């Protein structure tokens, strides 16, 4: 750490009292090399909530002074040559995202287990031989990525009921020899990747994970050769059914309580009639979503994904939704508010994923998900004139600065808080229609050209992410369920169309509840540049939330 040289980025962040700072690339690396590390002035920026120092091979350590950045929520120190991280990192109690990927770490500090707000931990591509005991204290963990290390075993408390939000565990390309049956305690687990390890057995208890949708055991030499063939060629559902059968067989061998089963059957019969009456009432309250398959829609929309998005924002899922009633009363406003809430919560303020909605009748397919240089990406942002991405980002920065001055506050609102997600990118992601027009510029905005209105009868919904494909699906699932809830509310309350003043003409009563509450979700295929299928949404494993009054008709 040095005080010898002044860094303009740090001085500007201090002067403008900024909350975000990104230092990356060759120019920064040269200064780190010549100064012997990061300058001490960096650790005086106590307002920072987002700090990224990346792609700097000369950075081998982080000074203990980092403990002063107590407002940090995201700390990204990837693609450096860090050999250690100080234990005082545990003092950063507000930290939610910690990315230490692609470094030279051989162990993690014990202080990491004190990060009670930690949501995402990425320590992939290091030299780790193990994880610290006590991770179960980080009860808000949702995603752990420890792939491409030298880990031989998981700490016992990783498979704890306390980690009831942990949905993604990626531990591929390690030397893990055993997977404990205690993994079934991870009630929220959806994605498990332990490919290319040294596993010989897969515990049958894995089939008891209620939300598990995606597993990868490829590259392990399993003692059960039939199971080994299945993991190399079958879908998750088939593998889990096989494991469930093995577990059932084992329990039968251990002996069952036949008298207990008979009593249970008798009890069920007694409850049968009562339950039938309850079912009739529940059926009236159900939210129904019908899935229209691609094969049933000869003019189905497709989205082609270019290879270049891989290094920018690689994951995308789309679908078409019909039957969403936006015309009555405040229905459109409620929908937009629900989308904003999902962005703030499940999408981590767009750092995890971004939702965009379009009037499908204004969309000209086929679509291409591509990248363009900032100077060549032209878009008509919502409520603005056409401009390049460079102009838009510059204007948003100016607006953010003006907002700080006017309201005498340091945080920013609206679109401005997502600007740091694009810093350092040479190309930006965009969704382009058949006319060559950009209709979406994630994670910043979508286009005025396809803006939804009260009169919109069919929506194209896209979810993009730089995290994982499953993240996109989870967000899309949550949005569609919320849409079904809103549609049911609108139908039941019989609001008048145009009551919020957006639409001209005479007010009309809302459509009949029986015809307007059901949503139809049409599958959309996403393909690569050669036309090979990447993903279709929704598939049979999607929209499988355990919600009693939510029904999906396939």
Of all residues in the chain, what percent carry a pLDDT higher than 70? 82
Mean pLDDT of 17-34: 87
269 versus 300: the higher-pLDDT residue is: 300
On the question of a cis peptide bond just before residue 242, with omega within 30 degrees of 0, the verdict is no
Mean pLDDT of 230-245: 82
- CA-based R_g, the chain, Å: 26
Mean pLDDT of 410-428: 67
Lowest mean pLDDT among 253-257, 457-461, 509-513, 543-547: 509-513
Lowest mean pLDDT among 157-166, 170-179, 236-245, 540-549: 540-549
Q: Is 504 helix (H, G, I), strand (E, B) or coil?
A: coil
Query: Dihedral through CA 544, CA 453, CA 517, CA 471, nearest 10?
Result: 10
Q: Is the pLDDT of residue 225 over 70?
A: yes
On the question of a cis peptide bond just before residue 443, with omega within 30 degrees of 0, the verdict is yes
* CA angle in degrees (0–180, nearest 5) for 483-486-491: 125
| Complete domains list, the chain, with CATH | 9-125 (3.80.10.10), 128-246 (3.80.10.10), 287-492+516-552 (3.50.40.10)
With tokens 């409520």, the residue in question is 383
Residues paired with residue 379 on neighbouring β-strands, in sequence order: 387
- The predicted-structure confidence for 169-197, as pLDDT tens digits, reads as follows 999 999 999 999 999 999 999 999 999 99
Q: What is the DSSP letter of 101?
A: -
Question: How far apart, in whole angstroms, are the C-alpha atoms of residue 153 and residue 171?
Answer: 10
Q: What would the two tokens of residue 98 be?
A: 């910690």
Mean pLDDT of 411-434: 75
Handedness of CA 285, 519, 451, 342 (dihedral sign): positive
Mean pLDDT of 212-224: 90
Mean pLDDT of the chain: 84
Q: Is the pLDDT of residue 515 over 50?
A: no
State the pLDDT at residue 283.
43
Q: Label residue 393 by pLDDT band (50, 70, 90).
A: confident
State the pLDDT at residue 281.
41
Question: How far apart, in whole angstroms, are the C-alpha atoms of residue 426 and residue 373?
Answer: 6
* CA angle in degrees (0–180, nearest 5) for 499-319-167: 105
Question: How far apart, in whole angstroms, are the C-alpha atoms of residue 66 and residue 45?
Answer: 10
Q: What would the two tokens of residue 118 be?
A: 């930690």
The pair phi, psi for residue 6, each rounded to 5°, is: -90, 135
Q: Is the pLDDT of residue 298 over 80?
A: no
Mean pLDDT of 215-229: 90
Q: Is 438 helix (H, G, I), strand (E, B) or coil?
A: strand
The β-bridge relationship of strands 287-292 and 438-441 is: unpaired
State the pLDDT at residue 383.
87
Q: Is 60 helix (H, G, I), strand (E, B) or coil?
A: coil
How far CA 408 is from CA of 205, 246, 405, in Å, comes to: 56, 64, 5
What count of other Cβ atoms lies within 10 Å of the Cβ of residue 131? 23
- The predicted-structure confidence for 518-540, as pLDDT tens digits, reads as follows 899 999 999 998 888 889 999 88
Question: How far apart, in whole angstroms, are the C-alpha atoms of residue 428 and residue 186?
Answer: 36
453 versus 417: the higher-pLDDT residue is: 453
CA 109 to mean position of chain CA atoms: 27
Is residue 409 packed enough to be buried (19+ CB in 10 Å), middle (13-18) or exposed (0-12)?
exposed
Lowest mean pLDDT among 216-225, 483-492, 493-502: 493-502
State the pLDDT at residue 418.
65
| CB-based contacts of 5, cutoff 8 Å, min separation 6 | 31, 34, 35, 39
State the pLDDT at residue 305.
95
What count of other Cβ atoms lies within 10 Å of the Cβ of residue 249? 11
| CB-based contacts of 322, cutoff 8 Å, min separation 6 | 457, 458, 459, 519, 520, 522
Mean pLDDT of 1-6: 57
Q: What is the DSSP letter of 316?
A: E
């Amino acid at each position: 750490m040095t005080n010898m040289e002044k860094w303009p980025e740090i001085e500007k962040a201090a002067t403008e009292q900024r909350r975000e700072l990104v230092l990356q690339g060759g120019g920064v690396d040269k200064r780190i090399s010549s100064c012997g590390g990061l300058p001490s002035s960096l650790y005086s920026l106590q307002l920072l909530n987002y700090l990224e120092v990346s792609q700097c091979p000369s950075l081998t350590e982080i000074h203990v002074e980092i403990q002063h950045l107590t407002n940090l929520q995201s700390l990204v120190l990837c693609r450096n040559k860090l050999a250690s991280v100080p234990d005082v990192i545990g003092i950063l109690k507000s930290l939610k995202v910690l990315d230490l990927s692609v470094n030279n770490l051989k162990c993690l500090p014990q202080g990491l287990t004190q990060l009670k707000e930690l949501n995402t931990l990425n320590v992939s591509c290091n030299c780790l031989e193990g994880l610290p005991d006590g991770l179960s204290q980080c009860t808000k963990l949702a995603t752990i990525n420890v792939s491409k290390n030298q880990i031989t075993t998981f700490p016992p408390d990783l498979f704890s009921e306390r980690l009831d939000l942990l949905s993604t565990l990626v531990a591929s390309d390690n030397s893990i020899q055993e997977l404990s049956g205690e993994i079934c305690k991870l009630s929220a687990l959806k994605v498990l990747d332990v490919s290319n390890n040294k596993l010989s057995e897969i515990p049958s208890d894995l089939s008891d994970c209620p939300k598990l949708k995606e597993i990868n055991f490829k590259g392990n030499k399993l003692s059960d050769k039939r199971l080994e063939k299945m993991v190399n060629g079958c879908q998750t559902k088939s593998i889990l059914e096989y494991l469930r059968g093995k577990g059932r067989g084992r329990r039968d061998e251990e002996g069952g309580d036949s008298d207990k089963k008979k009593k249970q059957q008798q009890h069920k019969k007694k409850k049968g009639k009562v339950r039938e009456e309850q079912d009739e009432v529940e059926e009236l309250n159900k939210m129904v979503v019908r899935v229209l398959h691609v094969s049933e829609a000869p003019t189905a929309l497709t989205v082609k994904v270019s290879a270049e998005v891989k290094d920018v924002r690689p994951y995308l899922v789309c679908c078409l939704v019909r039957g969403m009633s936006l015309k009555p009363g405040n229905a459109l406003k409620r929908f937009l508010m629900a989308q904003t809430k999902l962005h703030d919560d499940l999408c981590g303020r767009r750092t995890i994923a971004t939702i965009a909605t379009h009037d499908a009748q204004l969309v000209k397919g086929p679509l291409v998900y591509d990248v363009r240089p900032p100077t060549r990406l032209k878009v008509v942002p919502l409520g603005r004139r056409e401009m390049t991405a460079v102009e838009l980002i510059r204007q948003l920065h100016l607006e953010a600065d003006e907002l700080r001055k006017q309201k005498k506050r340091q945080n920013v609102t609206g679109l401005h808080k997502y600007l740091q997600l694009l810093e350092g990118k040479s190309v930006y992601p965009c969704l382009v229609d058949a006319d060559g027009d950009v209709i979406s510029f994630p994670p910043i905005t979508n286009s005025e050209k396809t803006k939804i209105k009260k009169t919109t009868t069919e929506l194209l919904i896209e979810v993009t992410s730089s995290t994982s494909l499953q993240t996109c699906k989870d967000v899309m699932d949550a949005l569609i369920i919320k849409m079904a809830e809103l549609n049911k509310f609108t139908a039941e309350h019989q609001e008048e169309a145009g009551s919020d003043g957006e639409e001209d003409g005479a007010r009309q009563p809302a459509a009949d509840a029986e015809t307007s509450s059901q949503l139809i979700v049409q599958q959309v295929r996403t393909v690569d540049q050669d036309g090979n299928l990447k993903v279709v949404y929704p598939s049979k494993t999607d929209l499988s939330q355990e919600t009693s009054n939510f029904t999906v008709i396939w």
